[in-house]
Structure 1
Amino acid sequence: MTQPMQKPKPPLPLAMLTALGIVYGDLGTSPLYTMQTILETTGGHVDPDTVLGVLSLIIWALLLTVSLKYCIFVMRADHNGEGGILALTSLVTSSRVRVGRGVTTGILLSCGLFGGALLYGDGILTPAISVLSAIEGVKVATPALNHLIMPIAVGILVGLFTLQTFGTARIGSIFGPVMLLWFITIGTLGAIALTRHPEVMFAVDPRHGIHFLQHHGWGSFAVLGGVFLSLTGAEALYADMGHIGRRPIRLAWYVVVLPALLLCYAGQSASLIGQKKLPDNPFYGILPSAISEWAIWPMVVLATAATIIASQAIITGVFSMTRQAIQLGWFPGLNIRQTSDKEYGQIYVPAVNWVMMLFTVGVTAGFGSSAKLAGAYGTAVSTTMLLTTVLLYSYFRRCAGWSVAAALPVAGLFLVVDFAFFSANLMKLLEGGWIPLLAGLLMFTIMSTWRRGLAALREVSGEHVLAPEKFLQQLAEGDIPRVPGTVVFLTRIREPIAPVMLSHVAQFGALQQHVVTLTVEFEETPRVPPEERITLNKFEGGLWHMVARYGFVEIPSLPAALALAQRKGCPVVPQDALFVGGRDEVVRDQTRPRSRLPGWRRMLFGFMYRNAVHFVDRFDLPRDHFVQTGRQVGL
C-alpha cells in the first residue's frame, strides 16, 4: 500500500464541522452525567448556594483547562503539525533537542509513555459511561423500563465495536452534522431553561466556586472529582490536531462547543433551583415541562447518537496511538488494516478492538449505571492531563526557548489545577478508579518491556556483525558462490553486513548476484519528505546498503522504496526481488552471568516477539517473494 497523497485542506467551515464530529464527542456529551455525579457527592442537595457553587466550578474548569491550557498553549506544541502526548514526548525527547539530556529525558519519556498507556484505560470507560448515561433517559421517561438500560447499552457497544471491522468512512460523514445538531439542541434547551432562574448566571463569579470549596472542606475533593468529568475529552483537542488542524479545532470550541456547554450546564442549574430533591438525571430537566413527556424520546435518541460518536472518537484515537507506538518502537507489531483509501486516519486494529470490547462490555455490565461508573471515570484522564503539563513545561524550555521566569508561572498555574483534579480523582480508587490505572500500568509495562527488549536485541545483533572488509574479501576471492537474481535482506541494524545475510549464506551456501541490505527506520517526526526517504551506499561485489526512513504516522511500503532506489541507480527490480527477514527466538543467554533483561521481562518480551506481526504484514511485501530465517538469540 503506498502512502496516500496529502489532500488539500478543506474549507474552514467544513473543517470545523469535522472537528465537531471527531474531536468534541466526549466533551460534548459530558453534560449527560457531570451535574448528576457532582450533586450526588454532596448528598443530593440542590439549594441555590450549592447549585451556584457547582456551576461556577464547571465554568472555570472549562475556561482554565480547555479554553486556556489546551486551546492557547498546548496546541502550540505541535510536532510538524501532529499532536497528542506521544507526539509531544517524541518532540521534547528528540535527539535534535540538546538541552538537559540524560536522566531528565528518561523521566520525560516515561511520563509520555505512561500518559499514552492511560489512553487505553480511558478508551474502555468512555464508551461505557457515555452510552449508559444516554440510555438512562429511558428511566426518566418510563421507570418501568429501568431493567432494560444495561442490556440495551451492552448491545449498542457490541454493535459499535463490531462495526469497526467494516470501517467507519461512510458513516463518518454524518458525525459532524449530528454533533452540530446536538450542540445546537443542548444550547437552545439550556437557554430556555435558563429563563426560569436567570440569576444562576452569577456563577460566572469565581467566588461562588471558591466559597463552595471552602464550605465543604475535605469533602470538596469529592466534588472536584465530579467537576473533572466536564473536562474528559479535552486531550482529544490536542491528539486530533494533525488530522484536522489547529485553527478549526479552536474556532469550533469558541464558536460552537463552549457556548453550548455553558448554556446547557447553566440550564441544568436553573432547572434545579427550587426542587426539593435531586431528580434522576438533571440533564433531561432542561426540557420544557410542556413538551417533556414526548420530547424526551427524541432527546434520548439524539443523546445516544452523540455518545456513539463520542465512543467512536476514542476508539479511533486508541487505534491511531497504537500505530504511532508501533512505529516509534514502543509497542509490538500488530495487524493494522486501512479501511479507507482516502482517509489515512481510518484504520482498524483487530487485536486492540476486541480486547477493548471485552473490557468495555465487562465494566458496563459490572457497574450497570453511569452514576456508579463515574466513580471509576476520570482517574486515567486526570493523570494524562497532569503528565501533559509536565511535558508542556519541558516544551517551553527545550523547544520554544522560554526562560524559567516565563515558563514556570504558566505551567505552574496549569500544574496546580491539574494536581487538584488528580488528587480529587485519587479518592475514586476504591470505587473503581483502579481499573483504568491498572490498564494503563499494564500497557506501560508492555511498552517499556518492548522498547528495552528491542534495544537488547539490537545490541546482540551488533555483536555478530561481520566487518564489511572481511565479507567483501570472501566475495572477491570466490569463497561464496554467486547465483543469478536479487535478494533484499531486512535488518534492524544500520551495518551493511547483517546477521540475517550471514545466516542465509550459511544455510544456502550461495549468494545472489545483486544484494541489498535494507534497514527501515521510523523518525521522530510525523512524515519524511520523499526526497529524504532513502539513503544508498554501494559496496564492491554487487552489495548495496539502503536505509528507508518513515515518519511515525506513515504507512511503509518497501516495494515503493526499492523502486525509488532503482531510479537512483541500484540494480534491483522490486517485483522480481526475493525478500529475506530474520525471525529470532529469544532465550536466556547462558554465557553471561547476568541477563540483559530480568527474567520476567525476557519472558514477556519473548512472548510478544514471537507473536508480533511479520515483515510481510507490516511493510507491504509480496508474500510469494518472502523468505524467513530463524535463529536463537540469547538475552
Structure 2
Amino acid sequence: MDPSLSPVSIHFAIKKETWRRTIVLSFQSLGVVYGRLSTTPLYAFGSIDPSHIKSGQQIYELFSFVFWTLTIIPLLKYAFIIFKADDNGEGGTFALYSLLCRRADVGLLPSDVSATDLMQQEELGTPSKMKVESRARRAIGRYKSSHYLILLLALLGSCLIICDGIFTPALSILSATSDLRRSLSKLAPRFIPVPVACAILVCLFMLQRYGTNRIGVIFAPIVIIWLMFISGFGLYNIIHHPQILWAISPTYMFRFIKKIDTTSWKLLSSIVLCVAGSEAMFADLGHFSKRSIKVTFIFFVYPALVLCYAGQAAFFSKYLGTSDDVAHLSESVTHRHLQHIFTILSLFASLVGSQATITAGFSIINQCQALACVPRVKVIHTSDKVRGQVYVPDANWMLMVLSLSILIGFHNISAIANATGLAVICGMLVTTCLMSLIIALQWEKNVVALSVLFLLFFGSIEALYLSSCFLNFIKGAWSVVLLSLILMTIMVSWHYGTIKKYEFDVENRVTVDWLTDLSPGLGVSRVPGIGFIHSNIVTGIPAFFSHFITNLPAFHQVLILLSFKSLPVPYMPKNERYLIGRIGHKEYKIYRCIVRYGYRDHVRDVNDFEDQIIRSIGEFISREERHHEALVLQEGRMIILGTNGNALVPVIGGESCQQATDIENPTSTTRRKRVRFMLPAISPKMNPSVRKELQELVDARESGTAYFLGHSQLKVRKGSNFVKQFLVMAYAFFDRNCREVPIALDIPHAALLEVGMVYTI
C-alpha cells in the first residue's frame, strides 16, 4: 500500500471498491434473481377475463392491490425483514429450517441426531459454550409434534418451489406465444400458440444441461432492456391517463373489499401473481449479496414494475370492453410497429423467468437430497466459480414432462395462472410461518410479541390471497394440491425409511471389543491392505460388517469406518470438514473418519476421497501423540482436520504433488492417477512409534483397498398399520430405482464388497 495515502483516502478507496463490487453483483442479479419477477406483467392482468370486470373503477382498485402488494411483500417483508435471517449468507426455505435445527434442536433427520455433537465438538476437545435457552426455545424443543410440524413446513415449502418450476415455464411461455399469435394475426391467421409453446418448452429444458453459468450470460441485458421497455410504455400510458396515480391510495382497496362478491374476490388470485418470484430474492441470496439485491430492487426493479402496472391498468380501464385481449400487456403497447419488438422481448424474458424457477427447483432438490428428504439423484455442478449452481438430469426431465402435461392439459392461461398463484402464495405463507419462529428463537431478545405481530400482519395478507386462490380450485388450482401431495409422499416416505434404517443400525451396532474378542474364537485373520467400511452411524461398528465377519472371518490390516454426515449449515469450511479418531487400542489399527458437509456443498463421489482420508489419518496419527491423554481409548473424542497435512507426502511419478488431493478442484473429465504416499524426511521431533504406524499405513495402502457397503432391505413387521406399510413399500421402491449411494459410484467392482441384510421394522 502506498504510504502516502492518508487513512481518509484509504477509507474512501475501500468504500469505492465495495460499491463497484455491489454494482457488478447488482447487474448479475438482474438475470438470475429478477428474471421471474420482471415477467409477471405478462400474466398478472392478462389472466383476468375482461367480462368479470364491472367497470374501469374496479381496475383502479385492482391496481391499488398491485401497488401495495409489491410494496409490502417483496420490499418490506423480504428486502428489509427476512434478509436479516440469512444462514451464513444463504437464503431459502432450508436456510430457515437450518437455523431452527441449530437454535431450537428440532432436527429429525438421521444426520441431525449426531449433528449437535459434531457441530459443538471443538478442536482438541475444548468444551463448547452453551447459550441460555429462552422459554420459547424450550417450549418448541419439548414437544416432538412441533418438530414434525416444522419439518413438514420445510418440506411443503420445497414442494411448492418444485411446483413453481413446473407451472411457471408453462405459464410464461404460453403468455409470450399468445402475444406472438396476436402480433402475427395478419401474417399467420392459423397460428396456434400451444404447439409452438411446447416446442420452446422442450428446447428450454434441453438447454439446462449447459448450466446457468453458460446460458445466463445474456440474461441480465435481456431483463434490463425488458424492464426499460415496459416501464417506458407504462410511463407513456400514465401521461395520457394520469388519473391512475390516484389509485395508489389504499382507500381504493377498501372500496373493493366493501362491495366484494365471489366473482370479484376471484380476481385477487390473478393479482397475487404480481409478486411471483419474490421468493427468489431470498433463495438466491448465497449467489450475491444483500446490498446488491436490495439496491437492484429498490432503485430499478420496483419502480419499473410500478410504472408498468400503472400504465397497463390505465390503458385497461380506458379501453375496457373494446377487445377480449385488452387486459394483455401487449395491447398497452399502442404503437403497432413496436408490438413486434415487444413480442420478441417478451419471449426472451419468459425464457429468462422460466430458467430462474427451473434452477431454483434444481437447488432445492439438491438441498433436500443432502438432508435425506428425497431419493438419491445425480447432481452436476455446472460452475467452478459460483457455488450452488447445479443441474439435476433426472429432475430436469421430470419437470419437462410435467410442465408439458400442464401446458397441453390446460392450454389456457387463466387455468395455469390459478395454479401458479396458489403455489406462489402458499410458498410465501410457509416462509412467513418459519420466519416468525426465527424471530422468536434466533434473535437474542424477548421478541415473542414481535414474532406474533409479524405472523399476523403478513400472514393475514397472504391468507386473503390464499382464500381467493382456493375459489378457483376447480379451475386449475387443484393441480398444485395434487402435485404437492405426490411430492410430499415421496419426501415423507424417503425420510421415514431413512430414519428407520438409521435407528436399526444404531440399535444393532456392535463394539470394537466384540470384534476383537470374537476374532480368536472364529479364527479371524488380518489380510494386507485397507478396508473402508461405509457406515451411517458415528459410534460403534455397523451390523452388516459384524454379519460379514461372522460368515467370512477375515478383515484388513487397517480398517477405516467412513461416515458422510450432512449438517444443517450451507457450507462446511475445508479446515473443519474431517473428524478423525481411533477405535480401540493402537494395535487394532481401526480408525473412524466422519466427512461433514453442508446442504449446499459439492460432495465428491470417490475419486480423491480415498487419498484425502489417508492423508488426514496420517495427520491424526502425527498429532495424536501430542494430545494422548485427551484422545486415547475414547471413541467419541476426535480431532477436527482440514484438507492439508504434512505427515504424509503425496507423490505421482516420484514428484510431490500437493494439489492432487484437493477435493475442491477435481478433474471432472478423466479419472485421476493413483496417488502414492511417502513419509517425510526423518525428524527428531517425530516419535519412532508414530513413524512406524505411519509406515504401516503407507504399506497397507500399497497392498490395496476395499470398500464394504451394506445393502439393506426394509421389511414391515406383521401386524403393522396401513400407513407404515405404505411408507415402507414406497421407500423400498424408490431405493431400488434411485441412484446408488455416492461412495459406491466410482469404486472399481473388484474393490467393492456389498453385504446384504434384511431390516424388519
State the TM-score bracket (shorter-chain normalisation).
over 0.9
Aligned to 1:83: 91
Q: Does 1:339 align with 2:374?
A: no
Specify the code of the residue in structure 1 equivalent to 2:577. R
Residues 371 and 579 from structure 1, CA distance in 2 versus in 1: closer, same or farther, beyond 3 angstroms?
same
Structure scoring higher RCO (CA < 8 A, sep ≥ 6) equals 1
Per the normalisation by structure 1, the TM-score is 0.92
Matching residue of 1:259 = 303
Distance in 1 between residues matched to 2:743 and 2:510, nearest whole Å: 29
1:440 maps to 484
The one-letter amino acid paired with 1:113 is L
Match for residue 181 of structure 1 among 215, 220, 225: 225
Tell me if 1:104 matches 2:146: yes
SS at match of 1:79: coil
Instruction: Give 1:622 shift.
Output: 6.0
Would the alpha carbon gap of residues 276 and 23 (structure 1) be closer, same or farther in structure 2, given more than 3 Å must change? closer
**2:313 counterpart of 1:286:** no
TM (norm. structure 2) is 0.78
Residues 1:269 and 2:279 aligned together: no
Structure 1 18/620 Cα, relative in aligned 2: closer, same or farther at 3 Å? farther
1:255-284 per-position Cα deviation (integer Å, ceiling 9, x unaligned): 111011001011112222432415514311
Q: Which residue of 2 aligns with 1:418?
A: 462
Alpha-carbon distance change, 404 to 343 in structure 1, aligned in 2, over 3 angstroms: closer
| Alignment RMSD | 2.4
Q: Does 1:114 align with 2:123?
A: no
Deviates more, 1:409-418 or 1:154-163: 409-418
2:669 alignment partner in structure 1: none
Alignment-derived partner of residue 216 in structure 2:
172
> Following the alignment from structure 1 to structure 2, what is the Cα–Cα distance between the partners of residues 615 and 392?
34
**Deviation of residue 473 (structure 1)?**
2.5
Identical-pair percentage: 27
1:581 corresponds to: 709
2:617 partner amino acid: A
> Structure 1, residues 149-191: CA drift from partner, whole Å, max 9, x if none?
1111100000111112333422212111211111111111211
CA contact (8 A) 2:376 2:741 kept: no
Q: 1:372 to 1:470 in 2, by over 3 A?
A: closer
TM-superposition CA deviations, 1:48-104 (whole Å, max 9, x none): 312211111100011111111111111211112111112212222336555121222
Residue 561 of structure 2, aligned match among 496, 517, 527: 517
CA contact (8 A) 1:121 1:437 kept: no
What is the deviation of 1:37?
2.4
Q: Does the 8 Å contact 1:228/1:378 carry over to 2?
A: yes
Aligned partners of 1:409 and 1:574: how far apart in 2? Answer: 61
Amino acid at match of 1:43: H
CA distance in 2, matches of 1:619, 1:18: 35
Corresponding residue of 1:198: 242
Corresponding residue for residue 11 of structure 1: 21
**1:530 aligns to 2:574 (yes or no):** yes
Counterpart-to-counterpart distance in 2, 1:584 and 1:597:
21
Is 1:450 paired with 2:499? no
User: Residue type matched to 2:41 in 1?
Assistant: P
> Quick one: which of 55, 58, 72 aligns to 2:66?
58
**Is the CA contact (8 Å cut-off) linking 2:52 and 2:264 kept in structure 1?**
no
Whole-angstrom CA distance in 1 between matches of 2:381 and 2:551: 37
Q: CA deviation at 1:621?
A: 5.3
Q: Is the 8 A contact 1:533 1:561 kept in 2?
A: no
The answer to whether structure 1 residue 563 and structure 2 residue 606 are counterparts is no
Give me the whole-angstrom Cα distance separating, in 2, the residues matched to 1:77 and 1:620: 38
Matches within 5 A, 1:202-351: 202-277=246-321, 278-280=323-325, 281-287=327-333, 289=334, 292-351=335-394
Taking a change above 3 Å as real, the CA distance of residues 43 and 616 of structure 1, as seen in their structure-2 partners, is closer
Gaps of 5+ in 2: 1-17, 106-132, 622-693
Q: Residue 356 of structure 1 corresponds to which residue in structure 2?
A: 399
Question: Per-residue displacement from partner, 1:533-576 (whole Å, max 9, x unpaired)?
Answer: 12222123111112111111112233344533333337378795
Q: Which residue of 35, 43, 47 maps to 2:52?
A: 43
Task: Name the SS for the 1:36 alignment partner.
Answer: coil
- Is residue 543 from structure 1 mapped to residue 543 from structure 2 by the alignment? no
Counterpart for residue 630 of structure 1: 756
Q: Report the counterpart of residue 484 of structure 1 in structure 2.
A: 528
In structure 2, give the amino acid aligned to 1:105: H
Q: Distance in 2 between matches of 1:268 and 1:283?
A: 6
Q: Distance in 2 between matches of 1:279 and 1:44?
A: 12
Q: In structure 2, how many angstroms separate the alpha carbons of the residues matched to 1:366 and 1:232?
A: 22
In 2, distance between residues paired with 1:598 and 1:199?
A: 62
Distance in 2 (alpha carbons) for counterparts of 1:220 and 1:188 = 30
Structure 2 matches for 1:383-398, cutoff 5 A?
Answer: 383-398=426-441
> Bigger shift: 522-531 or 92-101?
92-101
Q: Which residue of 2 aligns with 1:604?
A: 730
CA-to-aligned-CA distance 1:204-249 (integer Å, 9 cap, x gap): 1011122122223343421211110111111111111112222211
- Give distance in 2, aligned partners of 1:517 and 1:488: 6
